[in-house]
Structure formats: structure tokens, C-alpha cells
Chains A and B, each alone.
Chain A
Amino acid sequence: MARVCAGNRRAFSELVWRHQAPVFRICYRVLGNREDAKDAAQESFIRAFKKLDGFEGRSSFKTWLLRLTVNVSLNERTRRKENLPLEDWAPPDFSGDGPEEAAMKAEALARLHKALQALQPNHRAAVVLHDLEGLNFREVGEAVDVAEQTAKSWAYRGRQRLKDLMT
């Protein structure tokens, strides 16, 4: 980190290598498509590079970077604002592993990504970070800059809405 803060671009390149997967995943899951996610992931790292002086080490670098990523993705989402309609749908049983089940599973996941876009931004961020990225609620709270209990409540509301949209 010291080398990165001193402006060493090679060290920053190593940081990009280390964190690009979670950053891109979060952008993709918040924004719902790869092209927008690619732009948002780039923007997140550029902002991180510019703001490195402001990183005080009170949280881990990863949490700090994820906070920037969530902000960039949610702002981008607000800017675009379009919400795709969800058609009537019955959840499939994809307990088997044949090609038919794989197709149903892919369809179900595509629908879940679509339903995520219909959630309030804060609720979506909490569900993505906790349920899909595996952060605990303390880490989610740090990433979205709220108390742990608030992060928990956002995830609860998000899942409640997802349940109504998906099942």
C-alpha cells in the first residue's frame, strides 16, 4: 500500500489484479450487464487511484475500494434509471443436473438479476454484498457507510421484495 500511495503505478497495477474480480462482480450485479459493469469497474479504480491520499486505513483497503465501487455503480444505475419489466413467471425446480435443468437454472438466474434491478438501490447493494459476495453485515455496513443493523434491515427489505418478485 505504501508503494501505491507513493504513486507507484506498477504497485497500483498489482492492486487492480488482486481486486478486479470482486469489483467487476459487484458492478455487474448492481448494473445487470457486462458493458456497463466494465465502465463502472474502470471508473471505480480510477477514483481509487485519485483518492488514495484519502485512504486512512480505518477499514481494509478492500472494504474502502468496495465502498467506492458501490457508490459508482449505484450512481451509474440512477443515471440510467431504466427498469425492465418482469413478466409473470413460476420458479423452476432445478435440483437435477441435465441440460434442461441447466437451461432452467440459467433462466432463473437471469430473472433474479432482472429482479435485483427493481430493488431500491440501498437494498440492492445490501443483498449483493451480503448474499452474493458473502460479506458479513459489519462489512456491508462499512462498505455502504451505515450501521450494521441498518445494513441488515436493508438486506431484509431487499429479500422481501425479491421474494415477491421471484416466487
Chain B
Amino acid sequence: MENEAIEELLQAYAVGDVSEVEAERVEAALDDSPRLREELARYERLFVLLVAAAEEEVKVPRDLRARIVWRVAVTAYLNSAAELAGGLLGAYVRALIYYLRLA
């Protein structure tokens, strides 16, 4: 049971997100367990990678905004047209919108 609790604390310990009391518990367990020390080292390597991934630049496609704005304009226009047309023709226009993935 204690081992399970320590395992759960290990992640938080690796990023310094534990209280003083919890840190002491983890450190006491680490002193007695090479396996836990290896687990801690693995978490530390993972967090280095996560930090690098968070800092990685993800470039937004240049045309993304234009595409979205265009689709919004088409959606708004076709929905207005469907409302004006009403009834069967409106249903047809809505089906067309769905089929063409315009909205």
C-alpha cells in the first residue's frame, strides 16, 4: 500500500510538486529502493522530453484563417438561403451543405 502511494508521489516529486513531508517520504523510500530510483530517473527523462515538446514551435498553416473565414461565410450564406427558401427546397439546400461539407 505504502509502495503504491510512493509510486503515485514519484511523478509529483520529479517536478517538485510535493509538500516537505511528502518529499521526505519519497526520499526515504528512494534510499531503500534502486527500482524506485530508476523509476524516478525515467520520469525525469520523460519530463525533459515534455518540456522540449511544449517549447517546440508548431507553425499554423498560412491559409488556415482564410479557409475558416471562407467556410463561415459560406455556411452563413447557405443557411440564410435555406431559411428563405423554406420547405422542400430548404431541406435540399441543407442536404447539399452537408454533402459538400460546407458546414
Residues of A at the B interface (CB closer than 8 Å) are: 7, 9, 12-13, 16-17, 20-21, 24-25, 28-29, 34, 38, 41-42, 45-46, 49-50, 91, 94, 105, 108-109, 112-113, 127, 131-134, 156, 159-160, 162-163, 166-167
Contacts and interface: CB of A to CB of B under 8 A. Distances in A.
A166 B67 contact: no
Contacts of A20: 60, 64-65, 68
B46 A46 contact: no
A106 B11 CA distance: 24
Contacts of A17: 65
Interface stretch (B20-28, B47-55, B81-89): B47-55
B64 A159 contact: no
Contact of A9 (B39, B42, B61, B76): B76
Interface of B: 8, 11, 39, 42-43, 45-46, 49-50, 52-54, 56, 58, 60-61, 64-65, 67-69, 71-73, 75-76, 103
A24 B54 contact: no
B60 A24 contact: yes
Query: Do most interface residues of chain B lie in helix, strand or loop, or is the interface mixed?
Result: helix
Contact of A46 (B49, B64, B75): B75
10 contacts: A12-B69, A13-B65, A16-B69, A24-B61, A41-B64, A42-B67, A45-B72, A156-B8, A163-B46, A166-B46
Nearest to A13: B69
Contacts of B54: 131-134
Contact of B75 (A28, A34, A49, A159): A49
A146 B30 CA distance: 33
B61 A28 contact: no
B49 A109 contact: yes
A94 B49 CA distance: 10
Contacts of A12: 69, 72
Contact of A159 (B11, B56, B61, B73): B11
A112 B51 CA distance: 11
Nearest 10 Cβ contacts at the A-B interface: A167-B42, A45-B68, A25-B58, A131-B50, A132-B54, A167-B45, A24-B60, A163-B46, A13-B69, A49-B72
B72 A132 contact: no
